[in-house]
Amino acid sequence: MNTRLGVLLPTNHSQWNDARRLVDFGVRAERLGYDSVWVNDTLLGARVEPLAMLAALSPMTERVTLGTAALLPAFRRPIMAAQELASIDHLSGGRLVVTVGAGFPGRSEVEYALSEVPWERRFGRLDDTVALWRALWAGERAFHGKTLRFDELPESTPSYRPGGPPIWLGGGSESALGRTGRLYDGWMPYPPDPADYRAGLQTVRRTAREAGRSAGAITPALFLTVLVTDDAERGGRELDAYCRTTYGLPYERVRKIQAMVAGSAEQVVATLTRYAEAGTEHVVCRIAAPDLDTQLDQLEMIAGIVRP
């Protein structure tokens, strides 16, 4: 299987007692052969801020892609965020990938309120923010979008790479599929059925062609929650505990929304293979383990079965 393999750092405060060990986690992932290391973003629950985490990892790693899965730009002032991302792109030597999202209905409304940003028109604001970032990185001095307008922009930190780091979109709604095809460099959803992934990717690629873009310009990725265990009953209990801690929802409900697998090495590989056959080229594994030591054990097991 030639799919690129990534891992999500366990930045939630409940999973570590020394944040500096998260840097060691990222370095260990690189040494084990992972292709990428990712961080997520939320205002609900104590955690290491994602851009700070990537900045810390940049000089300590050499090869892996460093990414967000996903960053919610609404939580940050857009011009400052452009500078922060360009800085990480430089610090990492051009290894940054920025997956963005607009939030999770029923959960993110309070985060928008805390950020003093309206929940309404969030998709248009997200697309405008990304377009503004690209304009700033290119040295443009004005921007006029549908929701964001600036007649005078300051000189901003240019990106390490011309055009800026690749920006992917997280989400599998019809709207997200169309916007990915027209505007973004990659797609990272988490559909629980590989058939839905295949159909979504076809829509993304068709929309890209209709917009005059190459379908191959969009990287197809997947966000997958993983737990390797030979005890299926125990695995189900641990996934349930993880879902309740992370979302306040039972596993049986979350598994209908998100791609998740808890099982033997063979079952995990079979799941990865089905998504690879559906078209994904980059899988980001979120390990469903409660603490950093167990996460490290799983990190090695997953590497052993996918990168033997």
| Domain layout of the chain by residue ranges | 4-306
Contact 141, 72 (CB under 8 A): no
pLDDT at 1: 66
* Residues near 296 by beta carbon (within 8 Å), at least 6 away in sequence: 25, 28
pLDDT at 246: 87
Contact 151, 188 (CB under 8 A): no
Contact 53, 22 (CB under 8 A): yes
Task: Tell which residue, 201, 217, 295, has the closest CA to residue 8.
Answer: 295
Overall CATH class of domain 4-306: alpha beta
d(CA 167, CA 274): 25
CB atoms within 10 A of CB 280: 26
DSSP letters, the chain, are: ---EEEEE---BGGG-S-THHHHHHHHHHHHTT-SEEEE---SSS-B--HHHHHHHHGGG-SSSEEEEEEE-GGGS-HHHHHHHHHHHHHHTTS-EEEEE----TTTSHHHHHHTT--STTHHHHHHHHHHHHHHHHTT-S-EE-SS-EESS----PPPSSTT-S-EEE---SHHHHHHHHHH-SEE----SSHHHHHHHHHHHHHHHHHTT--GGGSEEEEEEEEEE-S-HHHHHHHHHHHHHHHHSS-HHHHTTTS-EEEE-HHHHHHHHHHHHHHT-SEEEEEE--SSHHHHHHHHHHHHHHH--
Tens-binned pLDDT, residue by residue, of the chain (308 aa): 689 999 999 999 999 999 999 999 999 999 999 999 999 999 998 999 999 999 999 999 999 999 999 999 999 999 999 999 999 999 999 999 999 999 988 889 999 999 999 999 999 999 999 999 999 999 999 999 999 999 999 999 999 999 999 999 999 999 999 999 999 999 999 999 999 999 999 999 999 999 999 989 999 999 999 999 999 899 999 999 999 988 888 999 999 999 999 999 999 999 999 999 999 999 999 999 999 999 999 999 999 999 76
Q: Could you tell me the maximum CA-CA distance found in the chain, to the nearest angstrom?
A: 60
d(CA 74, CA 54): 19
pLDDT at 204: 98
